Structure 1
Amino acid sequence: MYVPKHFEVQDEAELLSFISANGFGQLISLVEGRLFSTPLPFVLSDDNLKLITHVARQNPQAGDLDGQEVLISLMGPHAYISPTWYEKSGGVPTWNYQSVQVYGTAKVVNERDRNKEIVELMSTQFENDLSDPWDMQYPTQMLDAILGIEISISEIQGKYKLSQNRLAKDQQKVIRNLSEFGNKRLAHEMSRFKKD
């Protein structure tokens, strides 16, 4: 990913927090020599060294995945930014966003007990905030329809394009406009990284 210095995020705790909060993304790999992408939820392992997910056994991506270097692309909040939101003219239309990409080596898990652990780990994370969480009762033969994927992380790249290259008053005006148009999440993220 192209990451200009003023948009680069290197803080490991920030990147891991982003991954935990924005765990739905694209698993990108080669299938028979051609790029292939599957949208999937991902969770971090307890030691933060792996991303864990599962795919349908029939997914063509599963056949070539084991041992392959893969790319996971995760997106956070994003929005169009109008040049009319700047104090002075001379701006151009752009897009603000947060994105994290993870490189790693994939391991396909074809063991029912481990796949059960993966399903329960993922379900626990995503059910955690629900007032009436699922009790994780399901037919065990459903585990035969999936393959677990464990991706050993080798590199994490972070890019937060949040108007850091603009004046503080421009940033504040963009934050105000985002809030007014309902993108409070991106406005909040911009507030965290704005100039004082």
Structure 2
Amino acid sequence: MTDVTELRRLIDLNPWATLVSAADDGLVASHYAVLLDDRDDLTIVGHVGRPDDLIHGLGSRELMVVIQGPHGYVSPGWYGDVAAVPTWNFVSAHLAGVPELLGPEENLRILDRLVARFESGRPQPRTLWEAPNDPAFVERLERGTVGFRLTPTKVVAKRKLSQNKPDDVVETIIAELGAGAGAYADPRLAGEMRRDLDTRRAAR
């Protein structure tokens, strides 16, 4: 995957990310939500709780952010009466670079955006600055985190969605994943496969 619009869509729909870096005593990983920055590229913003900033050497060494989109098991029984083995379909992106550390004011703005993003789906959203939170509480919260902005210098993104199979087989897999009742039903993965199949058909 190289299309920036598609990658931005992937990040926006799958904000729970894995952060990986090579520390002095080996690899370390953490898990945090990230957001797209207010740009048109693949720059992301987020935060870590202390002391994860020190554990990762945040701002001084390369950080990889792993975005995992929909993924799931594909049974060989869905291919028809042919020799086949199982596989796993997925969409993912790895964004790597040395992040820029944010000052307190900008970190607060990002924390505010983060809360607003996920509260927006609730019937009565509770924002960061809303009572019973008061400014002193929010400022203490900010001091316990370190914000960062990552403009990736390396991006590796892959979309494995049965592109090597005939359209009728892909349609069967989409139907099985989208059925909603089977053990491996996954409407989100079915939706990604439908989007990919339709795009490939339109390009023929």
- Please classify the TM superposition score into its range, dividing by the shorter chain length: 0.7 to 0.9
CA contact (8 A) 2:177 2:186 kept: yes
How far does residue 159 in structure 1 lie from its aligned partner after superposition?
Answer: 0.8
Amino acid of the structure 1 residue aligned with 2:121: D
Q: Distance in 2 between matches of 1:55 and 1:193?
A: 34
Are residues 1:96 and 2:99 paired? no
- Give the letter aligned to residue 190 of structure 2: A
The alignment partner of 1:119 has SS state of helix
1:64-109 alpha-carbon deviations (Å, 9 max, x no partner): 1213221111111111111010023111111011111111211233
Give yes or no for the alignment of 1:22 onto 2:25. no
Percentage identity across aligned positions?
27
Match of 1:187 among 187, 190, 193: 190
Conservation of the 8 A alpha-carbon contact between 1:99 and 1:159: yes
Give the structure 2 partner of residue 114 of structure 1: 106
1:176 and 2:140 aligned? no
> TM-score scaled to structure 1, two decimals?
0.87
Between 1:58-67 and 1:180-189, the stretch displaced more is 58-67
Q: Which has the higher contact order (CA 8 A, sep 6+)?
A: 1
Aligned counterpart, 2:164: 165
Q: CA deviation at 1:191?
A: 0.8
* Structure 2 partner of 1:6: none
Task: Confirm or deny that 1:34 pairs with 2:33.
Answer: no
Residue type at the aligned position of 1:98: V
Quickly say closer, same or farther: Cα 1:129–1:41, change in 2 above 3 A.
same
Go from structure 1 to structure 2 and tell me whether the alpha carbon gap of 1:64 and 1:171 turns closer, same or farther (over 3 Å shift): same
Give the 3 Å change call, closer, same or farther, for CA 126–62 of structure 1 in structure 2.
Answer: farther
Residues 8, 42 of structure 2: 8 Å contact kept = no
Match of 2:47 among 41, 50, 54: 54
Q: Distance in 2 between matches of 1:77 and 1:53?
A: 21
What is the letter of the counterpart of residue 77 of structure 1? Answer: P
For residues 11 and 158 of structure 1, the distance between their equivalents in structure 2, rounded to whole angstroms, comes to 10
CA distance in 1, matches of 2:42, 2:122: 27
Normalized per residue, the structure richer in strand is 1
Q: Distance in 1 between matches of 2:2 and 2:52?
A: 34
Contact 2:53 2:146 in 1 (8 A): no
Structure 2, unpaired ranges of 5+: none
**What is the letter of the counterpart of residue 77 of structure 2?**
T
**Contact 1:108 1:147 (C-alpha < 8 Å) held by counterparts:** yes
- Whether contact under 8 Å (2:119, 2:127) holds in the other structure is no
Alpha carbons 1:29, 1:61 under 8 Å: kept: no
Residue 87, structure 1, aligned to residue 86, structure 2: no
CA contact (8 A) 2:22 2:56 kept: no
Residue 125 (structure 1) shift: 2.2
Give the letter for the 1:23 counterpart. P
Cα displacement string for residues 20-41 of structure 1 (whole angstroms, at most 9, x for unaligned residues): 1111110111222411110111
With the length of structure 2 as denominator, give the TM-score of the two structures.
0.84
